[in-house]
């Protein structure tokens, strides 16, 4: 029996720490390792690093492959195991608990130097899986110490400066300018892992794409802050070490959104060393029971190979489409995740029409926050306010901006719409027309203000088409629906209403392209 043979596999049964620190299921770890060349498993000099070890699953699965692959090189099983565990496999745990779990997984004992460990080469308890409790956040950026944030990860001092024995989540791999010094300038052939996804208010478990309204509610309830993504920091640190191969699984929000991810997205889309992306719009296909808005993906980055990227789309855990294509379509600053959408998008952009986003307001179109409710009943010279869950009435002097829209009709649509992870779904909330003399809070965006009621009605006919909402979907990775999600949608002539049949004909869509749109987007109620 091999050291890592388990039936059933205990690592498939572990409960996750939280939605942003998710244990990787064994089958997903194996799929990620399958991206690497088979020659690695026969190379006794190859080194592997998991810089964010939680369960130790990646190191265990690598060890299993090396034990088989190096059998001819070293027939003695114990000597082979000692060589692999002592000189080829390295990990950095994210917490003291995960360090113990990872050692138990890899060495079959929580201390590497125990007589019960399957390795006989270590004279220290950690082995090659380290956890540095001395790793600390570096607070900076505000005159008020309580409001400072870590210059490495953005964590709030108020939330994470706990002291004592509490975990501070100052992950060693990203809390240094020189990650190469962690392992004394050791070179790694492969860096692989499932990094923590975000850092912020752990009590709330917020996502980096929640609406201002939702985050505001949680702040007021818990006096906490919103969460910020950090998985991209692990990717950047890993690239600094210049491994031959980098494989990681992360949320897919970076394709088109994510707070503070614009520069990272631009780097990734311009990096021709990104050779494969395996994309799961429904995260539960990888992590059963876990909801991660926008889905997840794992990728292969190859230092010595450049070109277009193989992109595979998955549904229900099964690959439904694959295509080798550029990561960045001409003139676009986001990654179009669906291969079947590329031909449709190219037909639309070929006409070089103006973008519908030009007709959409920014957040807070009238300068009114969500908590502005107004009075329940109208009063002399009051302004009607469309707010969250109803209407109120305010003074005209309460309006800080957008007053030029008061004497116009305007289409209102919510800033967010959660439609679940399965398809087809509606993509956007149902729009409606606000009358002249009305305003709205930041719950809504204003679209196409006009003195013509019929023009606004025609805009709504366009928004209700599947064609319109499909183009929004391509730039909307989560429920957040700000102005930028409309960038792929062209402006039409709004002197007339629009139907899907009109739009399919105008852009010359094929039967297959129409079928894909209607598979993804349902009619609007």
Which letter does DSSP use for residue 29 in this model? H
Contact 201, 352 (CB under 8 A): no
Provide the β-strand partners of residue 325: 309
Question: Which among 409, 429, 434 is positioned nearest to 419, based on CA atoms?
Answer: 429
* 3-state SS string for 81-120: HHHHHHHCEEEEECCHHHHHHHHHHHHCCCCCCCCCCCCC
Q: Give the CA dihedral 510, 513, 518, 521, nearest 10 degrees.
A: -140
Residue from 421, 432, 510, 503 nearest 469 by CA? 503
443 within 8 A of 412, measured Cβ to Cβ: no
Backbone angles phi and psi of 93, in degrees to 5: -80, 155
Residue whose entry in the numeric block shows the structure tokens 């088979």: 38
The sheet that has 438-440: what strands, in order across it? Answer: 390-394, 383-387, 438-440
d(CA 501, CA 505): 6
Residues 489 and 357 sit within 8 Å (Cβ to Cβ): yes
Sequential pLDDT tens for the chain (525 residues): 566 665 556 566 555 555 557 899 999 999 999 999 999 999 999 999 999 999 999 999 999 999 999 999 999 999 999 999 999 999 999 999 999 999 999 999 999 999 999 999 999 999 999 999 899 999 998 778 778 999 999 999 988 887 777 788 999 999 999 999 999 999 999 999 999 999 875 433 334 444 333 334 443 333 344 688 999 999 999 999 999 999 999 999 999 988 889 999 999 999 999 999 999 999 999 999 888 988 999 999 999 999 999 999 999 999 999 999 999 988 889 999 999 999 999 999 999 999 999 999 999 999 999 999 999 999 999 999 999 889 999 999 999 899 999 999 999 999 988 766 678 989 999 999 999 999 999 999 999 999 999 999 999 999 999 999 999 999 988 888 899 999 999 999 999 999 999 999 999 999 999 999 999 999 997
465, with CB counted inside 10 A (0-12, 13-18, 19+), is buried
């Amino acid at each position: 029996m091999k050291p890592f043979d388990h039936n059933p596999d205990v690592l498939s049964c572990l409960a996750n720490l939280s939605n942003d620190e998710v244990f990787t299921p064994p089958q997903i770890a194996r799929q990620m390792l399958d991206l690497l060349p088979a020659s690695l498993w026969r190379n006794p000099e190859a080194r592997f690093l998991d810089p964010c070890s939680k369960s130790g699953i990646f190191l265990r699965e690598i060890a299993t492959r090396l034990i088989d692959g190096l059998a001819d090189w070293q027939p003695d099983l114990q000597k082979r195991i000692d060589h692999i565990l002592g000189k080829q496999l390295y990990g950095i745990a994210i917490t003291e608990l995960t360090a113990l779990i990872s050692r138990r997984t890899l060495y079959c004992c929580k201390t590497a130097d125990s007589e019960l460990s399957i390795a006989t080469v270590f004279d220290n308890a950690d082995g090659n899986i380290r956890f540095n409790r001395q790793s600390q956040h570096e607070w900076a950026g505000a005159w008020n110490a309580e409001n400072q944030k870590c210059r490495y990860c953005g964590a709030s001092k108020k939330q994470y400066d706990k002291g004592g024995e509490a975990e501070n989540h100052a992950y060693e791999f990203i809390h240094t300018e020189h990650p190469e010094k962690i392992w004394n300038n050791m070179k790694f052939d492969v860096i692989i892992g499932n990094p923590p996804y975000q850092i912020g208010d752990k009590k709330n478990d917020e996502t980096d794409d929640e609406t201002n309204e939702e985050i505001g509610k949680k702040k007021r309830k818990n006096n906490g802050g919103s969460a910020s993504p950090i998985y991209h920091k692990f990717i950047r640190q890993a690239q600094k070490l210049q491994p031959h191969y980098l494989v990681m699984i992360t949320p897919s929000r970076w394709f088109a959104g994510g707070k503070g991810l614009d520069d990272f997205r631009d780097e990734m889309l311009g990096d021709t060393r990104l050779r494969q992306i395996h994309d799961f719009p429904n995260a539960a296909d990888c992590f059963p029971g876990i909801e991660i808005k926008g889905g997840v993906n794992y990728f292969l980055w190859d230092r010595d190979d450049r070109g277009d990227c193989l992109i595979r789309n998955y549904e229900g855990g099964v690959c439904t489409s694959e295509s080798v294509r550029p990561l960045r379509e001409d003139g676009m600053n986001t990654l179009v995740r669906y291969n079947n959408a590329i031909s449709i998008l190219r037909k639309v952009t070929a006409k070089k029409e103006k973008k519908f986003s030009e007709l959409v307001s920014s957040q807070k179109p009238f300068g009114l926050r969500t908590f502005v409710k107004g009075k329940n009943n109208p009063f002399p010279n009051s302004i009607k306010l469309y707010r969250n869950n109803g209407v109120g009435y305010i003074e005209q002097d309460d309006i800080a901006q957008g007053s030029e829209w008061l004497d116009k009709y305007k289409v209102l649509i919510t800033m967010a719409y959660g439609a679940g992870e399965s398809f087809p779904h509606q993509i956007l909330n149902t729009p409606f027309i606000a009358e002249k003399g009305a305003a709205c809070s930041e719950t809504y965006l204003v679209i196409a203000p006009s003195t013509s009621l019929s023009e606004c009605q025609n805009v709504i006919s366009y928004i209700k088409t599947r064609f319109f909402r499909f183009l929004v979907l391509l730039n909307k990775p989560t429920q957040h629906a700000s102005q930028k999600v409309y960038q792929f949608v062209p402006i039409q002539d709004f002197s007339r209403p629009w139907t899907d049949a009109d739009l399919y004909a105008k852009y010359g869509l094929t039967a297959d392209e129409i079928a894909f749109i209607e598979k993804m987007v349902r009619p609007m109620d």
